[in-house]
Structure 1
Amino acid sequence: MGHWLVIDLEATTEEGGWPLEEMEIIEIGAALVRANGQEVAHFQRFVRPLRRPHLTDFCRTLTRIDQASIDSAAPLNAVWPQFERWLHGHRPRLAGWASWGDYDRRQLQQDWQRLELASCLSQLPHLNLKRRFAEARRLPRPVGLNSALQLAGLPFSGQQHRALTDARNTARLLPLILPL
Structure 2
Amino acid sequence: MQLTHPQEITHFKDRLSRSRFVFCVDLEATCDEIMPGTQASSRQLSIQPKDMEIIEIGVIVLDRLSNLSMTAEFSRLVRPTSHPTLTSFCTSLTGIKQIDVDRAITFPTVNNELNVFLEPYLMAGAVWCSWGRYDADQLRQDCTRLEITSLLTALEHLEVDEFYSRVFGIPAPCLKEATESMGIAWHGAYHRAPDDARNLARLLAKLLERN
Query: Are the counterparts in 2 of residues 20 and 107 from structure 1 also a CA contact under 8 Å?
Result: no
Q: 1:128 aligns with which of 152, 159, 167?
A: 159
| Counterpart residue number, 2:110 | 79
| Residues 37, 146 of structure 1: alpha-carbon distance in 2 compared, 3 angstrom cutoff | farther
| Residues 38, 20 of structure 1: alpha-carbon distance in 2 compared, 3 angstrom cutoff | farther
Q: Which amino acid aligns with 2:168?
A: R
Quote the offset at 1:34 in angstroms: 2.3
Query: Are the counterparts in 2 of residues 30 and 167 from structure 1 also a CA contact under 8 Å?
Result: yes
Distance 1:12 1:119 in 2: 19
Count, aligned residues: 179
With structure 2 as the length reference, what TM-score do the two structures score?
0.79
| Residues 37, 19 of structure 1: alpha-carbon distance in 2 compared, 3 angstrom cutoff | farther
Q: In percent, how many aligned pairs have the same letter?
A: 38
Distance 1:55 1:114 in 2: 19
| Counterpart residue number, 1:11 | 29
1:12-161 → structure 2 map (5 Å cutoff): 12-16=30-34, 19-35=48-64, 36-139=67-170, 141-161=171-191
Quote the offset at 1:19 in angstroms: 4.2
Distance 1:166 1:94 in 2: 24
Please list the CA deviations of residues 15-63 of structure 1 after superposition, one character each: whole Å capped at 9, or x if unmatched: 3485431211100111111244421100111111111101111211211
Alignment RMSD: 1.8
Query: Are the counterparts in 2 of residues 132 and 177 from structure 1 also a CA contact under 8 Å?
Result: no
Query: Are the counterparts in 2 of residues 29 and 165 from structure 1 also a CA contact under 8 Å?
Result: yes
The list of structure 1 runs, each at least 4 consecutive aligned residues, that deviate by more than 6 angstroms after superposition, is none
Quote the offset at 1:73 in angstroms: 1.0
Segments of structure 2 that go 5 or more residues without pairing to the other structure are: 1-16, 35-44
